Structure 1
Amino acid sequence: MTTQTENTIPLHVHVEDAAQRYFAALGDAKANNLYEIFLAELEKPLLIATLKHTRGNQSKAAKILGLNRGTLRTKLKSYRLL
C-alpha cells in the first residue's frame, strides 16, 4: 500500500488547507473579497504554469485550460503576462 504524497493529494485539499491557514493568520481581523483574492492567487500561477507547459503556445494553453484563446489573452493582459 502506498501513502499519499504531495503529488497524489487532490488539489481541493491544498486549496482548503490554504484557506484554513489564511483564516488562522487573520485572527480576529475581517476578511474581505476573499473569493476574488483566492481566484487571483490561483489563476495567475495556473496561467504561468500552463504557458510553461505548452512552451508559450497560447492556443494549446487555452485548450488545456478550457478557455478560448481570446479569453486567455484577456486574462494574460490583466495579469501583465503579455
Structure 2
Amino acid sequence: MIEENEIAACVRRSLNRYFKDLDGEIPSEIYGMVVSAVEKPLLAYILDRAEGNQTRAAEMLGINRNTLRKKMREHGLSD
C-alpha cells in the first residue's frame, strides 16, 4: 500500500465519511467538490502566510500570479 501523508489521509477519511453519509445514493461531481473544499482554505492560508503579497503567495503555491488571482476571484477571496 502507498504511504499517505497527513493531508491525503485526512481527505481519505473525509471521503469515507461522505460515502457513508450518502447511504447508497449515487454521488456526482466529487472532483469539483473536493478541489473546491481544499483549494479555498489553502489559498486563504497561504495568502495570510504571505501577508497578502500575491507574488509571494503564488511562488509558495507554485502557480502563476494571474492564476492565483483567478482562483481568488472564483473563491471570493479577492478585494
Identity of aligned pairs, percent?
35
The two structures, once aligned, show a CA RMSD in angstroms of 1.0
Aligned residues: 74
Equivalent residue, structure 1, for 2:38: 42
Runs of 4+ in 1 over 2 A off after TM superposition: none
For 2:24 and 2:54, the matched residues in 1 are separated by 43
Given candidates 41, 44, 54, the residue that maps to 2:50 is 54
Q: TM-score, normalising length from structure 2? A: 0.88
Q: Answer 1 or 2: higher relative contact order, Cα 8 Å, separation at least 6.
A: 2
* Separation of aligned partners in 2, 1:57 and 1:25: 39
Unaligned runs of 5+ in 1: 1-8
The answer to whether 1:10 aligns with 2:6 is yes
Q: CA deviation at 1:80?
A: 1.4
Distance 2:41 2:22 in 1: 23
Please list every run of 5 or more consecutive structure 2 residues that lacks an aligned counterpart in the other structure: none
